[in-house]
Structure formats: structure tokens, C-alpha cells
Amino acid sequence: MDDGVARLSARGLRDALRAGELSAREATGHFLSAIETADRHLGAFVTVTGDRALEAAAAADEAYAAARRAGRLDALPPLHGMPTAFKDLVDVAGVPTTHGSAAISHRPAPSDGPLVELLRAAGTISLGKTQVPEFGLTAYSENRIGPPSRNPHAPALSSGGSSGGSAAAVAARLLPFATGSDGGGSIRIPSAACGIVGLKLGRGLVPAGQSPGDAARLVVAGPLARTAEDAALLLDALVACGEPGPGAGTGHGRHAASYVDAMSREPGRLRIGVALASPWDQRYRIQPEAEALAALDAAVVRLHAAGHTVAEAEIRYDNRYPDEFTAAWTAGVGTLRIQPECEPLLTPLTRAFRRRAQQRSRARFDEALAFLRRFERDTVAQYAAWDVILMPALAQTPRPVGWFSGTEWQTTADQDYARQCEFAPWSSMVNVCGLPAVSVPTHWTAGGLPMGVQLVGPMGSEGLLLALARLLETQRPVSPAVSSAVPLVSTPSGTN
């Protein structure tokens, strides 16, 4: 049955468990075996909790047998027996949370974090904790406590970050799906690098991932899955088992139909604005590679073919954004409780961000927050001229392990940060705006690397975004002859 499990989508696995064709112990055993075989070369997992997972699976099978005897299989939780794992920034009771750092103690967590509680209630079984960058700060999942998380399509390359271990595990079929947290692109960046679907939810839809010092309200949770349908399945469970917060929106999903249903509906003709402008344009050299533009071009062709109006959107960003976002993004590391003698164990980037955050006054931090709220209002107003905004997911193909931090050459913290911003220049502003966004692969390079696009919608549009992701992912890569029928969108001449 193992070969059959490996071929199943997450929805297919859910259906097999629900029908009794597969037990939770069989499903859990399959994925634990896959992890044992493949992860030594992948580095996706920090901790594997096999014994705990098998105990939970046995309990799930007992619950299934009792429900079947009572004729109440409908009473089982929506993801009964489904294996998953959690990035090592969130607490799982009884399992150490390392935060990817050698500078803090790794004591077992006393209780589950909100997202873990929610997914336990949904019936999932945790197989362990996945690799992250130190405190989730970077777009690559490398740290000083374990091997780097590598890209399943080319192990010499990074899987991205900060949900890099989870994205790699899903792409490599070590998990059917996973949740991540996203404060500046941490779901969408690794999903794009690994060729899977990553959905950043709108602010307040489900409990956020844990993040210290998130005064700017940047961090949200969301699914990582191999298909839009599997992402919708996980999102349905997240929303059904949790209560949406203020501003979650009711346009799709829980209050109208399931996200799986919303994803399957024809969205009607949409006005889709294509934007290459980035709020980092005035600070760094933002230049999309040909492969990034090919992914965008492929999406434009498919959206045109589906009857949508796709045109260039002129979006302008305030050029003060880089300083203000960075001040808010890095503030949390300045307040972390780290013993002075352990400070040298921090990575160079974290040490630099921590020192600057501690030197920054409260008044300066409040100025940054006030700026980001104004930036949010202005950007949301510009995006509102369109039903959806489309842009590349990444500006560059996946980078080699060690490329950002310069493990083979001397790299400063500022150079490291600049490389990250040039790699993923269209991510963080979506967090500032609190809007939902999805990353979906649309193009594969000649070397077999995935490249994709990001779609950003208004609040409450998660179902619409999944429908568009499904449209894009169901097509084969567009041939050069077809692709040339719709020209690439040119880079805007400038931003303000």
C-alpha cells in the first residue's frame, strides 16, 4: 500500500482514511518511513516524533472503529488521521522548540501553540518539527543547530524560508501538506522555490503563527500543499476548527461554502493587474531574471485564455518603505531573552539586527509602525482598482545553500539582507497590507527548477485566489511559441 499512499494527493489520502481503506497507523508509518529514508539528504526536519505519532495514530484508529460501530463516521474531525508537521517556531507540547537558534535553551514546550491546538482538533497527527532560519528572520532555512533545508528538485539549492523545511517536506512527499507562518513571505517564498502552492491568509482569518514582538501585525498562518485543492482542504479545516477574527471577510469559504467548493467555482471575468514595481526598487537592484518573467508570461497567457482581462498596473510605493519595514520586522529580536554569554552563538545577521533593534528608540519604532499603517492604506487603495494583482513570486531562481549568508566568502549582514530583498522583492508589502496572497508554480526551467507567480487579492478572497491557482497549476508549461503571443510586461520606469 505504501506505493499507493505515495501517489495520493492530500484529498485522496483524506478520503482513503475516511473510507477505511487505509488506517491512520498505515498512513503515519508510510510517511515516517519516507522521512527516515529521504530526510538525511534533505534536512527538512529538525525533530521527528515517531513514537508519539504512532501512539496518536493508534488512538485515531480506535476512534474510527468506535465511530463506525456507532454509525457516526460523520462525527470524526475533518482531517482525521492525516499526518503533518510544524515549523520549529511554534510550540508542540512535549517537544523542544528551537526557533532555529543555538543561543537559547531547547526545553520541551509546556503546551501547544494556537495553530497546533487547532490542527489537533481537526484530527491531524504531528510527525515532528521542520527546519527554519534563526527566529524565522530570513528567506533561507539555514542555522547553527542542524543541516540546512535543501530543495528537493536540486539539493545543492536552498528550499527558501522561513517555512523552508515544511515546503521541502511537502514537495518531496514526506508530508501530504503542512501549515506555515508568514511575516514577510515565509510561506510564499519557500513554496515558490520548491514548486508547490503556498497561501498566505488575510490578517485575522485563523490564529496566527507564533512570533515574538509582532507589533506590526505582520505574521499570519496558511497552508503549503502540492495542489490548490489540497491547500483548500487544509484551509477548510483551519477555518472550521477556529473562529475567524476581525477583518477576516466573508466573501468565500466558511460563510458561503467550503474553500474546496469556492476553488472549484468559475470566478467570472476578472480585471487582473500585472505589477513589477517593488517597494525595494529604490534601495536595491531589483531585476527579475528571464525565468521569473517566463513564469509571469505563462500565467498571463493562461489568464487571457480563460477570459480574464490582464493589463499592466501602475503601482507606486513610498521609497521610505525599506527602512520602516526593516525596523518593524527586526524589532522582536531586540527583546528576546538571551544570556550575554550566548550572544556569540547567534548568526551574524541576527546579531546585527538585534544590536540595531536595541539601539532604536521607542519613538523611532512608533514612527515606523505609523508609516506602515499609512503605507497599508495607500497600497490597498491602489490595489483596489483591480480584482487581483499579479507579479512574479521570486525575482531569481532558487539560490545555492550558503549563497545569502556567504558561507564560502565573507558577507556582511547588510549584504545578506540585500540578497534576500533582491531574491524576493514582492513579498513583505503584502504582509504590511494584511491581504491574502497565493504563490503557484507556472513554469519549469530547462534544469528542472520551479518558478511561479504571486496573486494578491482583497480581504476575504482566499477562495478566489485558490480558484486562480487551480487554473494556473492545471496547465502544462506554455511552449515558447504560445508564450510569445502575449508579450512580457515591461518593468515600470520608476516608483516614488
Q: Got the DSSP string for 154-195?
A: EEEEE--SSSHHHHHHHHTTSSSEEEEEESSSTTHHHHHHHT
Asked if pLDDT for residue 107 goes beyond 50, the answer is: yes
Region 434-440: mean pLDDT is 98
Alpha helices (H) in 330-396, listed in sequence order: 331-334, 348-359, 362-383
What would the pLDDT profile of 304-321 be if each residue is shown by its tens digit? 999 999 999 999 999 999
Catalytic residue, from 87, 126, 141, 278: name it: 87
Catalytic residue, from 149, 158, 159, 186: name it: 186
Contact predicate 125/57, CB 8 Å: yes
Region 228-249: mean pLDDT is 76
What would the pLDDT profile of 254-277 be if each residue is shown by its tens digit? 434 699 999 989 899 999 999 999
Distance CA 264, CA 463 (A): 9
Distance CA 285, CA 300 (A): 25
Asked if pLDDT for residue 476 goes beyond 60, the answer is: no
Give the amino acid at 448: G
pTM of the model: 0.93
249: left (phi over 0), alpha (psi -120 to 50) or beta: left
Distance CA 206, CA 317 (A): 28
pLDDT in the model for residue 213: 73
Region 462-483: mean pLDDT is 72
Distance CA 184, CA 424 (A): 10
- Known active-site residue 111: no
Name the pLDDT band for 228 (thresholds 50, 70, 90): very high
pLDDT in the model for residue 437: 98
Contact predicate 438/469, CB 8 Å: yes
pLDDT in the model for residue 411: 83
Contacts of 253 (CB under 8 A, 6+ apart): 235, 236, 239, 259, 262, 462, 463
Distance CA 372, CA 490 (A): 28
Catalytic residue, from 23, 149, 162, 191: name it: 162
More confident call, 4 vs 403: 403
**Please, what sign has the CA dihedral across residues 376, 377, 383, 388?**
positive
- Reduce the DSSP state of residue 388 to 3 states and report it: strand
Burial class, 114, CB count within 10 angstroms (exposed 0-12 / middle 13-18 / buried 19+): middle
Asked if pLDDT for residue 370 goes beyond 90, the answer is: yes
Region 416-430: mean pLDDT is 98
The cell numbers describing 109, all together, are 514546550
Region 266-290: mean pLDDT is 97
Percent of the chain surpassing pLDDT 70: 90
The cell numbers describing 214, all together, are 509582532
Distance CA 106, CA 323 (A): 33
Name the pLDDT band for 240 (thresholds 50, 70, 90): confident
Distance CA 428, CA 161 (A): 13
What would the pLDDT profile of 18-52 be if each residue is shown by its tens digit? 999 999 999 999 999 999 999 999 999 999 999 99
Asked if pLDDT for residue 53 goes beyond 90, the answer is: yes
Asked if pLDDT for residue 159 goes beyond 90, the answer is: yes
Asked if pLDDT for residue 444 goes beyond 70, the answer is: yes
Name the pLDDT band for 211 (thresholds 50, 70, 90): low
The cell numbers describing 388, all together, are 487581483
| Cis previous bond, 181, omega within 30 | no
- Beta strand pairing call for 177-182 and 220-225: antiparallel
Name the pLDDT band for 125 (thresholds 50, 70, 90): very high
Name the pLDDT band for 475 (thresholds 50, 70, 90): very low
**Which candidate, 298, 302, 259, places its Cα nearest to that of 465?**
259
- Which domains, ranges and CATH numbers included, belong to the chain? 2-483 (3.90.1300.10)
- Known active-site residue 162: yes
Asked if pLDDT for residue 73 goes beyond 80, the answer is: yes
Region 5-12: mean pLDDT is 94
